[in-house]
Amino acid sequence: MKRILAHFFSWIFLPLFMPTYGILLTMYVTSIPKDLSHASMFFMAPEMKTRLLLLFFLFSAAAPGLSFLALHQKKVISTIDIENQRERNIPLLVMMAYSLVLFLLFFVKAPESVLPMAFYALPLSGLLVTSSFMAINKWIKISLHAGGAGILVGFLFAFYLEQQQFNPWILPAAIFASGLTISSRLYLNKHRPIEVYTGWILAVIITFCTHVIYTACI
């Protein structure tokens, strides 16, 4: 039963899904920004929310996932969840490419921060996190699952600090989800503790700092 649950949480909290979870929470949980000159996630028109969410999911989850399936079919990677450390460079490059395309799409099509900051900073965070993971992968098989959970927590923490109103249960829930993800990867013997903790901490720091710096520079 424990093994089944560990596999279940590993799939529910796939790293490709975590940014979309973050966008969903910030779109549909009541929030009011401290700086009212910034566009609000919660008060966007429903049609705009749907279009942006689908676009975000397409580039951050669906397209990379289909690319991984293609790489698996061509025997570039031996497993879909990229267990082999030596096979990770190409999938990480794929994730970096889609993150960059998504960032440039929002930056070019909606310049001057027309959209809420998350739509610019979150893809940029994904680019920076995957870049750092690719460099570290030379030495340890850093956990992509833990990295995805860290991106979610870092993003929500940065978002929370920018709001004058935001439900306080969101952050503890995200941290709890991180715990489930990390515990599942350890239980399944997919990673060593240093690989999951390093991945989570690094992703939290990079994502949080990217949002804070990007917001300050705009």
Residue closest to 88 by CA, chosen among 76, 97, 100: 76
Burial (0-12, 13-18, 19+ Cβ within 10 Å), 196: buried
pLDDT at 91: 87
Domain count for the chain: 1
The answer to pTM > 0.85 is yes
pLDDT at 2: 78
pLDDT band at 63 (very low <50, low <70, confident <90, very high): very high
Name the residue range of residue 183's domain.
Answer: 2-217
pLDDT tens digit sequence for 147-197: 999 999 999 999 999 898 888 899 999 999 999 999 999 998 888 899 999
pLDDT at 3: 84
CA-to-CA distance for 134 and 50, rounded, in angstroms?
Answer: 32
CA 198 to chain centre: 16
3-state DSSP helix/strand/coil % of the chain, to nearest 5:
70, 5, 25
pLDDT averaged over every residue in the chain: 89
Give the mean pLDDT of 84-98: 88
pLDDT at 38: 75
Give the mean pLDDT of 101-108: 91
Give the mean pLDDT of 97-115: 87
pLDDT at 79: 77
Instruction: Name 166's bridge partners.
Output: 31
